[in-house]
Amino acid sequence: MSLTNQDLVEIVAFRRALHARPEISNEEEGTAHSVTDFLADTGPDEVLTGLGGHGVAAVYDSGEAGPTVLLRAELDALPIAELSDIPHRSQIAGKGHMCGHDGHTAILTAVGRQLGRQRPARGRVVLMFQPAEETGNGAAGVTADPRYERIRPDFAFSLHNLPGTPLGHVRLKEGVVNCASRGMRIVLTGKTAHSSMPETGVSPMQAISELMPALPPLGSGSFADDDFSMLTVTHASMGEAVFGIAPGHAEVWATLRTRLDARMADLCGAAENLARGIAAAHGLSCEIDYHEIFVASLNEPQAVAHLRSALDAEGVTHDEAELPMRASEDFGRFGHGARSAMFFLGSGERHPALHNPDYDFPDDLIPIGAKVFMRTVRNLLG
């Protein structure tokens, strides 16, 4: 159940190579190939590729009846330019592993090293390298793939590094840990006109000036309550960047956020009714669509108990502070049909925040994350 010094040297080098060649959501083909190549000498019993896009599932099967335990990491980077002078900084302009998914992937390859040497006594382990977490369509694509039925888990576990928390310390609790969210795009269409004769057109100017301040108050409740909802306007545009045309088109983008999935339908309905009512009052058509849909992530009590047992056995300190989070995470979809839980592994109190241009995953977390996962697997499967 341990990694050798040589293992760590190779896994850290692998992580840094991924960091230098980031691929954003839905473009992770090269990263997926790197994972399968790196795991090849661990001898997985089955490897599924192209799951829900560029997802990879490596299966380590005991050959004996028992539960299926899925461990998940993410493959994708972000469209953020890295501002760093580290030797392994991003070599791809405008893209960077600013969320630590390269580190999460490295942790799962460390587990693969150990499973390659000793299979579990019963059941099987699935190492799921998931694409497109950042856009919310990765887990949805993987779980909708017909081949997912071949690896459908009884238990699913994941982790995410957490800057601002002491290095190696874990945050873990039952229930909601990440909110549901989705992006809402509202398109208002009227009629353009010459700017000298605006009365001959139908401008969305007044409508968006009413709509933007009216959207956020639709959110309600304290974040401590299950009925919490939040709406944030994130972008607006109107017409063309010219002086000679009165606008006939506008867009407003907003992010809708709730603690629980059931509350999301109510928030969407209220926002849609508001937008359509304002559009109609100003003679505009209104079209609405949704993007980057994340379901709520809930930690199931039995799955949490297994993680706590592993943390205690490995001497990893943990508490429930700072949970749940308003941020979203698409791991929640793996909990639809499986007992699932995610823990949050501290990256250091002064470590750059996630999505910052100078972020780099701390390599010291690789053996910690790997031993927690391995202990969980051994406790469940022997």
One domain for residues 220 and 138: no
Place of tokens 């909990």: 335
Q: Is 30 in contact with 21 (CB distance < 8 Å)? A: yes
One domain for residues 94 and 151: yes
Q: Is 120 in contact with 65 (CB distance < 8 Å)? A: no
Q: Is 106 in contact with 369 (CB distance < 8 Å)? A: no
One domain for residues 205 and 91: no
Among candidate residues 274, 294, 314, the one where a domain is terminated: 294
Q: What is the pLDDT of residue 345?
A: 98
Can you give the residue range of the structural domain that contains 241?
180-294
Average pLDDT in the chain: 97
One domain for residues 124 and 35: yes
One domain for residues 290 and 192: yes
Name, in order, each residue with C-beta under 8 angstroms of 13's C-beta and a sequence gap of 6 or more. none
Mean pLDDT, rounded, for 211-220: 98
Question: Residue 263 belongs to a domain with what CATH number?
Answer: 3.30.70.360
Percent of the chain scoring above 90 in pLDDT: 99
> Which tens digits make up the pLDDT trace of 272-323?
999 999 999 999 999 999 999 999 999 999 999 999 999 999 999 999 999 9
> Which tens digits make up the pLDDT trace of 70-83?
999 999 999 999 99
Among candidate residues 278, 294, 310, the one where a domain is terminated: 294
* Backbone conformation region of residue 228, classed left if phi is above 0, alpha if psi is from -120 to 50, else beta: beta
Number of domains in the chain: 2
Question: Residue 354 belongs to a domain with what CATH number?
Answer: 3.40.630.10
Among candidate residues 259, 294, 329, the one where a domain is terminated: 294
> Which tens digits make up the pLDDT trace of 305-317?
999 999 999 999 9
One domain for residues 160 and 308: yes
Q: How far is CA 350 from the centre of its chain?
A: 23
The count of C-alpha atoms lying within 13 angstroms of the C-alpha of 309, restricted to the half-sphere facing its C-beta, is 13
Greatest CA separation for the chain: 79
Mean pLDDT, rounded, for 214-223: 96
- pLDDT bin (cut points 50, 70, 90) of residue 253 is very high
Q: What is the pLDDT of residue 2?
A: 84
> Which tens digits make up the pLDDT trace of 145-181?
999 999 999 999 999 999 999 999 999 999 999 999 9
Q: Which amino acid is at 299?
A: N
Question: In this model, does residue 1 exceed pLDDT 80?
Answer: no
* Residue 302 token pair: 């039995």
Q: Which of 201, 303, 190 is nearest to 244 (CA)?
A: 201
One domain for residues 17 and 70: yes
One domain for residues 61 and 130: yes
What is the rounded CA–CA span in Å between residue 85 and residue 237? 36
pTM of the complete model: 0.95
Q: Is 155 in contact with 303 (CB distance < 8 Å)? A: yes
Q: Is 97 in contact with 53 (CB distance < 8 Å)? A: no
One domain for residues 170 and 51: yes
What is the rounded CA–CA span in Å between residue 56 and residue 44? 12
Q: What is the 3-state secondary structure (H, E, C) of the chain?
A: CCCCHHHHHHHHHHHHHHHHCCCECCCCHHHHHHHHHHHHHHCCCEEEEEECCCEEEEEEECCCCCCEEEEEEECCEECCCCCCCCCCCCCCCCCECCCCHHHHHHHHHHHHHHHHHCCCCCCEEEEEEECCCCCCCHHHHHHHCHHHHHCCCCEEEEEEEEECCCCCCEECCCEEEECEEEEEEEEEECECEECCCHHHCECCHHHHHHHHHHCHHHCECCCCCCCCEEEEEEEEEECCCCCCEECCEEEEEEEEEECCHHHHHHHHHHHHHHHHHHHHHCCCEEEEEEEEEECCEEECHHHHHHHHHHHHHCCCCEECCCCCECCCCHHHHHHCCCEEEEEEEEEECCCCCCCCCCCCCCCCHHHHHHHHHHHHHHHHHC
Question: In this model, does residue 29 exceed pLDDT 70?
Answer: yes
One domain for residues 19 and 168: yes
Q: Which residues pair with 73 in a beta bridge?
A: 129
* Residue 274 token pair: 């508001």
Q: Is 140 in contact with 292 (CB distance < 8 Å)? A: no
Q: Which residues pair with 255 in a beta bridge?
A: 183, 232
One domain for residues 155 and 191: no
One domain for residues 130 and 48: yes
Q: Is 171 in contact with 323 (CB distance < 8 Å)? A: yes
* Backbone conformation region of residue 100, classed left if phi is above 0, alpha if psi is from -120 to 50, else beta: left
> Which tens digits make up the pLDDT trace of 258-269?
999 999 999 999
